[in-house]
């Protein structure tokens, strides 16, 4: 069995990358060896997103340091790091690359570098996938739980201890206190419906992504997770058993208050194109979803 962890990161997230890879190294200690992991990282050094002429840190430093981090922290698995490309300028093009690059994968874990997670997370998420697959499921999504997020629709994947917290609780929380304590036995629970965000340690079986794809028209950033969610609903309505499971009491969360990238940002001239890229995805979202829906209405899919 093979699992791919796919990470996109920017020069101003160099310390975030270091923290993420170190946490993955700690997680590797708890793996049982039954899954071969590959970590694919893009440290985007493209001039499209960083004005290197007006940056105080040289491109070479970011490149060499990110390679060093991979060499030191990813010795437990196969890995690849990409630097000088204009083909991957965001998490969506990163995830599209990983899907195309790994035809032999069983599942993908989409991971952002601003996530905090405990040392057992990778083992528990991967083992949950194996157990669910062995029980007869094929099209599987597995996610940890989260704290209170943007609105109440996210409560279905939020731990019950946080349901009564205010909206946007996650922005000012002590993420260490939320994630690290043992708050109860971890149980696998199947959801009614689908709710997940792309980079929150989200595990998606390749069989799902083979059906949905990650549309080229979305470009580099935005809406690939929403698209996959909606496609899952369409498939479910067409008698394909696509199921999302959560691991109750295994919490991960975004680092906000304790994030340490303010200093490095001041040494880099970032060209923030997220809004531009997201508008491209938004402009093509409805058409891509209609194309996917029509494929199923016309019985062009292959069932699982």
pLDDT value at residue 301 = 57
Average pLDDT over residues 155-175: 85
Predicted TM-score (pTM) of the model is: 0.94
Q: What is the pLDDT of residues 64-80, one digit of tens each?
A: 999 999 999 999 999 99
Examine the pLDDT at 303 and tell me if it is beyond 50.
Answer: no
CB 202 within 8 A of CB 109: yes
**Lowest-confidence region among 160-169, 195-204, 281-290:** 160-169
pLDDT value at residue 150 = 81
Does the domain at 2-290 match CATH 3.40.50.150? Answer given as no
Residue 237 and residue 235: Cα distance in Å, rounded? 5
What are the angstrom distances between the C-alpha of 117 and each of 71, 127, 176?
Answer: 21, 16, 9
CB 278 within 8 A of CB 223: yes
pLDDT value at residue 297 = 74
Average pLDDT over residues 178-185: 90
Instruction: Identify the sign of the CA torsion 120, 126, 130, 135.
Output: positive
Examine the pLDDT at 81 and tell me if it is beyond 80.
Answer: yes
Other Cβ atoms less than 10 A from the Cβ of 156: the count is: 14
304 pLDDT band (50/70/90 cuts)?
A: very low
Average pLDDT over residues 85-113: 96
């Amino acid at each position: 069995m093979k699992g791919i962890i796919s990470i996109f990161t920017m020069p101003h997230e160099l310390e975030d990358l270091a923290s993420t890879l170190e946490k993955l190294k700690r997680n590797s200690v708890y793996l049982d060896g039954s899954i071969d992991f590959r970590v694919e990282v893009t440290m985007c050094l493209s001039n499209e997103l960083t004005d290197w002429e007006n940056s105080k840190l040289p491109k070479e430093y970011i490149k060499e340091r990110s390679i060093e981090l991979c060499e030191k922290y990813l010795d437990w698995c196969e890995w690849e790091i990409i630097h000088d490309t204009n083909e991957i300028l965001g998490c969506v093009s990163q995830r599209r690359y990983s899907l195309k690059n790994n035809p032999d994968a069983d599942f993908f874990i989409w991971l952002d570098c601003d996530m905090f997670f405990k040392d057992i997370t990778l083992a528990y998420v991967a083992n949950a996938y194996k157990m669910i697959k062995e029980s007869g499921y094929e099209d599987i999504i597995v996610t940890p739980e989260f704290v209170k997020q943007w609105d109440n629709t996210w409560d279905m994947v939020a731990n019950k201890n946080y349901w009564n917290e205010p909206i946007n609780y996650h922005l000012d929380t002590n993420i260490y206190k939320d994630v690290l304590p043992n708050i109860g036995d971890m149980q696998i629970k199947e959801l009614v419906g689908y709710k997940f965000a792309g980079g929150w340690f989200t595990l998606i079986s390749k069989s799902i992504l083979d059906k949905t794809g990650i549309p080229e028209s979305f470009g580099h950033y935005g809406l690939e997770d929403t698209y996959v969610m909606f496609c899952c609903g369409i498939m479910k309505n067409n008698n394909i058993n696509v199921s999302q499971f959560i691991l109750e009491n295994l919490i991960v969360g975004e680092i906000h208050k304790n994030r340490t990238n303010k200093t490095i940002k001041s040494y880099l001239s970032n060209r923030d194109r997220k809004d531009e890229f997201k508008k491209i995805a938004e402009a093509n979202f409805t058409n891509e979803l209609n194309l996917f829906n029509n494929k199923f209405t016309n019985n062009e899919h292959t069932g699982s």
